Amino acid sequence: MPILPITLCGDKILRKKAAKVTIVDNEIIGLISSMFETMRNANGIGLAANQVGADKKIFVVDISAVEGNEDSKPLALINPKIIAKSEETTVFEEGCLSIPDQHADVIRPKKITFEYQDTDLNTQTLEADDLLARVMQHEYDHLMGILFTDLVDEEEKKRLKKPLSKIKKRKVEVAYPTSTSSDYQIL
């Protein structure tokens, strides 16, 4: 499957709520496969469909390369929704393939329960905590048009302003293919 260009902050598709998937055909299966390849090529552990220019409510996660998570299985979630969150929160430094080389502490619920559909459009439920919960929430936010930089305090937003401007203008070196226009979209 082909490696796809990753959209960058400032690209319009990253700010729109993703469209629900109503059928899973060869095009969607190919997209999911390409998303896994694209994510791994960029050394990521999660990727939302709009990050590769697809207006689809899909994200993929594979945290098995992270120490302590070697037994984790790759996941593809279609039409995910959060159905429960813990009151307990954790702070962790997040980054994003659409915001290269920028990181900031983000507060998120420690545990989360998702309802989603698998590639047969069967409804599944998944409870996650720690790193998996964080990555899934981060990718879910993408599908809602939210970036991790929206969730940081005002001081962090000020610190990120200049680097984000450079990324939007595509004046950064990135080690993986990226979109060439803020209007980039494949599906």
CA angle 181, 134, 103 (to 5 degrees): 55
pLDDT at 179: 95
Mean local confidence (pLDDT), 150-159: 96
**pTM of the model as a whole:** 0.96
Instruction: Please confirm, yes or no, whether 139 is among the known catalytic residues.
Output: yes
Q: State what percent of residues in the chain have pLDDT above 70.
A: 99
Q: State what percent of residues in the chain have pLDDT above 90.
A: 98
Of the candidates 37, 115, 127, 139, the residue annotated as catalytic is: 139
DSSP 96-150: ETTEEEEEEEEEEESEEEEEEE-TT--EEEEEEEHHHHHHHHHHHHHHTT--GGG
**Average pLDDT over the chain, rounded to an integer:** 97
* Residue 187 banded pLDDT, cuts 50, 70, 90: confident
- Rounded Cα distance between 19 and 50, Å, is 10
pLDDT at 16: 96
pLDDT in tens, 88-120: 999 999 999 999 999 999 999 999 999 999 999
Q: Domains plus CATH for the chain? A: 12-168 (3.90.45.10)
Residue type, 165: S
CB atoms < 10 A from the CB of 163, how many? Answer: 16
pLDDT at 1 over 80: no
- Rounded Cα distance between 146 and 60, Å, is 17
- Answer for the pair 44, 62: CB distance below 8 angstroms, yes or no: no
